[in-house]
Structure formats: structure tokens, C-alpha cells
Chains A and B, each alone.
Chain A
Amino acid sequence: MSIFSCLLAGLFLPLFPSSLVFNAVLRRLPHPWLPMVLLLVWPQIGLMLVLALEASPPDWVVPWALLTSALYALRALTLQDVRLWIGFLATSLWALLWLVVSGGGWAIAAPLHALGLSLPLVLLCLLGAGLTRRFGAARAGLPGGLAQSLPRYAGVLVVVVLAVIATPLFPAFFTMLGLVLHAAPAVPLTALALAGIWLLWSWAGARLLAGLVVGPAGGDGVADLSRLAAWGYVGVLAALVGAGIYGAMALT
């Protein structure tokens, strides 16, 4: 794979600094549906490019991808805006797809891994749009205390964030598990880096949730998520869990 192809693919499977493009685009998209489409399509374009070349990425891509992932995971720790947080987590998650495509037998399932990583982000984007509609912004601390004021909304939000940060039994967990398990015997340093990135995601997720969900009730008179919508989210999340388990069973 040539350097040019790598850099082009690095726009879609984000490698710093081309990752700045994706985050700038995501931030500027006005309509809530467009970011969702972008989140689904962007990594798939990258994977199509990489897989179409039918050549393994050069060796330097993996450490660069790890650095990109770690950089965005670290930067996500202090974000309060939900849209920005989604962009940074997406960058951090998708950068690791380079490890999937470098992993030989894994490469064929890479689009499914990408989908498993992106779908919770899409759900979070949808929830973020709902918060913006209700409160004018989707930011931690504004208004905060969702568990008190919008318990159903808060419940769904918590589970979706857990799905994003690779909590069992969501697909991202099995992707991460697979990456660490494959890296541990061959390149222990890579496994340690992956473990560190995973830890940062947990920290970033917990900080975001604490800002949104915890605290005294705010935003009186704002409507909670409807029962139907809540069931819709639960259905998608259950499907994600099912897909994660099925995928892991098939892979092992």
C-alpha cells in the first residue's frame, strides 16, 4: 500500500492530523440527521478504500493509529459538548480499525466491526439532538441532573454511552477484546496501549455522564422521552447486544 493511499484512507479511518477534517465537518453539519449518516458512512468509505487495495497497510500505520486513538481519547476527557464528544470518540474508535485490517483474518469482518462501533455513536447523536431541542444545547452541566428531571432519557443515555465506551456485551467490547487478545502475545506494547485507551474511554464516558445525569433536577417542565421512543432505543440496544454476542460466537 502506497503512502498516498494510506493518507487518503487515513482521512476516513482517521489518522492525525487528517482526523481534524472529520471532526471539523461533523461539528459544522447543521441538521441532526446528517451527522448520523456521516457516522455510519465515513469509516465504511475508509475500509472500502483499504480493502480495495488488497494490500496490508505499512508497519508504521499501526503505531500512528494507536497514537491518534490515544490522543482523541485523552482529549475527550475534558469535553462537555455531546457532539464534540461523539466526534472524538468516533475518531478514537475508528483509528483502531487500522489494527483490525492489519490483523489478517479479521479484515473481512472489518465493515461489521465498524458498524458495531458506529451504531452506538449514531444513537448518542440522536439523543444529543433531543437534548438540544429541549434545552438549546447538549452540554454536560446544561442543565445536568437528567436522572431527576428526565429519568427515562437519562437511563437510555447511560446505556448508550456504555455501548460507546466498549462495555460488555456491546459489539465494541468484543472488537476491543479481540484486538487486545490478538496483540497481547505478539506485541505486548500494543496490547498495553489498547488497554490504556480503553481506560481513557471509560473515564471520558463517566465524566460525560456525571455532567449530564448527576446533580439536582434542572429544566422543569421539559418532556421526557416517550415510552415508544424509549422502547425503540431499547430494541436497537438489545439488537446490538445480540449482534455482539453472535459476532463473538462466530469469531471464536
Chain B
Amino acid sequence: MERLVVLVAVLPLGSALVIQLFSRRLGGRAGGVSVAFAAVTFILAAAVLWQALAGRPPAITGLGGSWGLLLFDPLGSLMAVVIAGISLIVHVYSVRYMAEEPGYARFFVLLDLMTAALLVMVAAGDLITLLIAWHLIGVLLYFLLGQDTRSPSAYRYGLWTLLTYRIGDLPLVLAAGLLYHAYGTWSLPEIFAAMASRPDGHAVLGLALPEVVGALVAVAAFARSAQFLLHTWLPYTMDGPTPVSALMHAGIVNAGGFLINRFAPVFVHTDGVLPWVFVVGLLSAVMGSMLMLTQNDIKKALGYSTMGQMGFMIMECGIGAFSLAIYHLIAHGLFKGTLFLGAGSVIHGARRDDGVPKDYLYTFVVERRPARQRQPWLLMAAITLAVPVTILMVAHWLVSEDYFQKQGAIVLLFFGWVTGAQLIFATYRMRSQNPWRLVGLGVFSFAVVVLGYTLISHAFDVFLYPDPAIRLQIYDAADIPLLRFDVLVGVVTAVIVLGWLLTYYGERHDAPRGGQRRRVGATAYALVSREFYVAGIYDRLARGLLAISRRLNVWLRWA
């Protein structure tokens, strides 16, 4: 089994080497060779996952020194399959997509190296190996995004990515330094075991070591997963080839969720880190979704959509639902990868024919005829509030009876309820000829999503964290004082309900917008359309630093 883990990481490296050495002889077959290696890597990764599912205990293997260790555990084996699978799809897609592009062989070499770095990252069993893989991913992504060496703009935006990734590398290096100094080993399992035996044994600047390390790891994850203020690189890196965008959005950007899961044994000993992780994730989810809605460029909209999704993923980590974040990143990777790979052909096809069959369902949903009489609003309000709660309660009760004791679960339920209520509310506002049918369809979809999500995420929970005590500890680490939690839930509920009422009132009375409201609206729109000026501020800062650099060189006469 250990050999298989090593092979999974080494095969893409072998592919890169073969293509680089024989690129002239291989010519257009370089893509085929790379696909063959990627396919074998995927099969082996699937075999490793199968072993993990069969209950084989975690194992570690290495080069013989104190680092260079590869870890076989449920998290690593699951992530390896995801990465190998997405990489295989991207490889297959690229064979023809990149055929006309210059640097065909170079592209596959870089793609293979990136796959290898990602696989080593998820299997890293020690801090140095993790740092090396983490660092190399940023460098390789820079060159993949700049595949078209004639395009200075691709390199310019690639540079943003590189610098943000480097900003994210550095907290991880600091965290590694602190852990090594405290425990005298690079091995992750040994560090986690030592920390579990004495969580309060070490302190840094008067703070408990797990708190500091947890915060540093979280910052590293934020940079990698494009969280708010470290997000500007993501929507602008669309000059790279489409397969690179797909790989980036499906398999690279979600490394933040993986990292937090990898350091779960550290986070269980933290007290105040996860609530902040939640806040950052929430902010990113809201900002990303808002920015997505104002884009008129489909690829940029997809970029901001990824930011929003990554916000949700980080938010899930922040409430202690670590394994749910892994499920989320896998689901997001699959659908976002599909969107990127399919966006071009969809747009191309839609120019000729929208492809939507004009059948009964289409007429019912799209070309709606309003009913003569609306349903009583009190009845609809009751349905809006009660039905989602019932579905959510039943779904979670199926998983665990004590589920409702955890704050994180309450937050998840709350978001689920808001989403469900919003769905039914929107359905009611659609004024269909047959409102019960429309509401029924909405409720059915909601029930399928909730049940599927709950049951699958529970399965992930049991697989990734088989020890129920650890699962409970993670949720406990995310808890905040009960009174503060209750007040927060109350305030957020009030804000949301108030928003609904305002929308309802505004639509019902069709109130004309006064001067003040219009000005506020225009300002808000300008702020969002300029992406909150974040990229602009960074640009100014960078230009300022470059100006200082130039001035210093002139003063010191280039010596």
C-alpha cells in the first residue's frame, strides 16, 4: 500500500520527465502519453482510496530521512482521487484544446508537475514536504497561467496570483517553525500526537501554541482559497488557457479547505480561531456572490462565483463542519470544472440555437401565466417558514439525534432554512398559473438537496473522522459563548426577515424611488461594480513600492 501511495505521487513526475526528454520525438503524441500516465495515476489513487474505505489503518512512508514522508490516511487518499480525477479530465480535454497552441509539450510537462505537486501536498506526512509542495504549486500555477508567452497581460495577472500565493506560503512556514521548535519533529502524526498529549504545553508571545499555529494555518488557507482581501487574483486570471482555469478552480483554489482539515488536530485545541475563520468565510461568500451578480463577463462571473463558494467552504470549517467542507470542495470542483470546460462550447452552441425544448415544463416555468387569484399570504408565509425547517429537522435527525446540540449544526440549519424559505418565497412571487405545482417542485428539489447533502456529508464525517470524540472536539472548538451565539442568531434572523418584508412591501406598493434612495442605490452599485476598490488599492500600493524602488536606485546610483 505504501508503494502505491509513492507511485501515485511519482507517476506524474515520470510523465513530465518523459515528455520533456522526448518532446521532439513525441511531437503531437505528448498529450497522449501524458493522458496515459494521468489515467494510471487515477486508477492507482482509486485503489488507494479503496484500501482506505476497506478500513486499512493509516500508514506513513518516506525517503529514509526525517522528511520526505508520504501519509496514507482517509483525507489524503480521498483528496488524491479527486485531484487525479480532475487532472485526468483536464488532460483529456487539453489534448485537442491545446493542439494548435505553441508550447504543446511544455504545457503537459507543467500540467504533470502541477498534478504531482498537488498529490504530494495532499499526501505530505511532514511539514517540509508540505511546505515544498505548497510553495511549488504557486510557482507552477504562475507558469501555467502564462502558457501563452506572447501575452504580457497573462503574466501580469499570473504575477498577482504568484504574490498572493507567496503571501499565503509565509504564514505556513512560520507555523512550521513554531511546531518544529516546540516538538522537535517534522512528522505531522508525531506533532499531532504530542500536541494531543499536552495541548497547553507551549506558548508563543503569551498565547497558546495551537491558537497561534491555527491562526497562521488559517491565513495560509485564506490566501490559497481567495478569501476576501486576498481574492483579487482569482477573477483576473482568465487569460490563461481554459484547462488551466478549470484545474485552478476545481483542484487548486480549494486547497485552503484541505489544509484546515489536515491541521484539524491542531484546531481542536484552539478556542478563538474558528469563529474568525467563520467570519472571514461569511464575508467572502457574501462579497463573492454579490460581485458575481454584477459581472457581465461570464468567466469573471465564474471567478467570483468560485470566491463565493470558497467562502462557504471556509465558513463550514469555521463552524466545525470540516468534513462538510471537503464534500463541498469536491462538489464545487466537479461542477466548476465542468462549467469552465463547457462554457466555450455552450456559448458557441447557444449562438445558433438555445437548445431548450419548448415543451410543457418550459412553458410552465419560463412563460408563466399569472393566476387570477393569489393564495392567502398568511398560508404562504406559514409554508415558507415551516416547510424548510421540517425538512431540515427530519434530514438531520436521520443522521444523528444529538445533532441539534452543536452550534455549528444550528448555523448550518439556519442557512438551510433561510435558503429554503427564500426559495419558497421567490416561488410565491413568481405568480404562476398553478402555484401549488411550482411550490411542490421547489419543495421537492429542496428536500432532495438537503437529504443528499446531509446524508453524504455524514458519510464523509464518518470516513474522514472515524473517532466520534474528534468530531465532537472540532464542533466544540468552533463554539462561541451561548449568549453571544443566541444574540447573533437573533440579529441575523431579524435582518433577513426585515429584508424580506422590505422587498415584499416595495414590490406590493411599487414604490417609486426617491432622490435619497436612488443616490444610495447608485453609490452601492458603483462600489460593487468597482469591486470595492480592493484591486485598485493593491495596485496603488504596488506602484508606490516600485516608485520607491526606482527613487532609491537613482539616489544610490544603482550600486
Contact = CB atoms under 8 A, between A and B. Distances in A.
Interface stretch (B330-338, B457-465, B548-556): B548-556
Contact of B174 (A84, A148, A191): A191
B326 interface: no
B150 A145 contact: yes
Contacts of A23: 558-559
Interface in B93-117: 102-103
Given A78-B550, A79-B553, A203-B163, A249 B177 contact: no
A26 to B, nearest CB: 9
Contacts of B182: 185
A42 to B, nearest CB: 15
B558 A27 contact: yes
Contact of A202 (B151, B156, B162, B177): B162
Interface residues of B, number: 49
Given A27-B558, A168-B136, A206-B142, A77 B546 contact: yes
A162 interface: yes
B163 A177 contact: no
A213 B327 CA distance: 41
A213 to B, nearest CB: 6
B425 interface: no
B170 to A, nearest CB: 4
A177 B162 contact: no
Interface stretch (B127-135, B189-197, B484-492): B127-135
A183 to B, nearest CB: 7
A71 B552 contact: yes
Contacts of A232: none
B498 interface: no
Nearest to B117: A168
A89 to B, nearest CB: 14
Query: DSSP majority for the A interface?
Result: helix
Interface string B346-367: 0000000000000000000000
Given A145-B150, A203-B163, A162 B553 contact: no
A214 B177 contact: no
A14 to B, nearest CB: 11
A75 B177 contact: no
Given A75-B549, A77-B549, A84-B558, A169 B132 contact: yes
Contacts of B152: 210, 214-215
B293 interface: no
B159 interface: yes
Contacts of B128: 177, 248, 252
Given A78-B546, A148-B149, A167 B559 contact: no
A183 B176 CA distance: 11
A136 B166 CA distance: 35
Contact of A185 (B65, B131, B151, B178): B178
Contact of A188 (B135, B205, B556): B205
B149 A184 contact: no
B155 interface: yes
Interface in B116-162: 128, 131-132, 135-136, 139, 142-143, 146, 149-152, 155-156, 159, 162
Interface of A: 20, 23-24, 27, 71, 74-79, 84, 145, 147-148, 154, 158, 162, 167-169, 173, 177, 180-185, 188, 191-192, 195, 198-199, 202-203, 206-207, 210, 213-217, 248-249, 252
27 contacts: A23-B558, A27-B558, A75-B549, A78-B546, A78-B549, A79-B553, A145-B150, A148-B150, A169-B132, A173-B135, A177-B173, A181-B180, A184-B174, A188-B204, A198-B166, A199-B170, A202-B163, A203-B163, A206-B159, A206-B163, A207-B159, A210-B156, A213-B149, A214-B152, A215-B150, A217-B150, A252-B65
Interface of B: 63, 65-68, 102-103, 128, 131-132, 135-136, 139, 142-143, 146, 149-152, 155-156, 159, 162-163, 166-167, 170, 173-174, 176-178, 180-182, 186, 204-205, 545-546, 548-550, 552-553, 556, 558-559
Given A78-B546, A154-B149, A173-B132, 9 more contacts: A20-B556, A75-B549, A77-B549, A147-B149, A177-B131, A184-B181, A185-B204, A188-B174, A217-B150
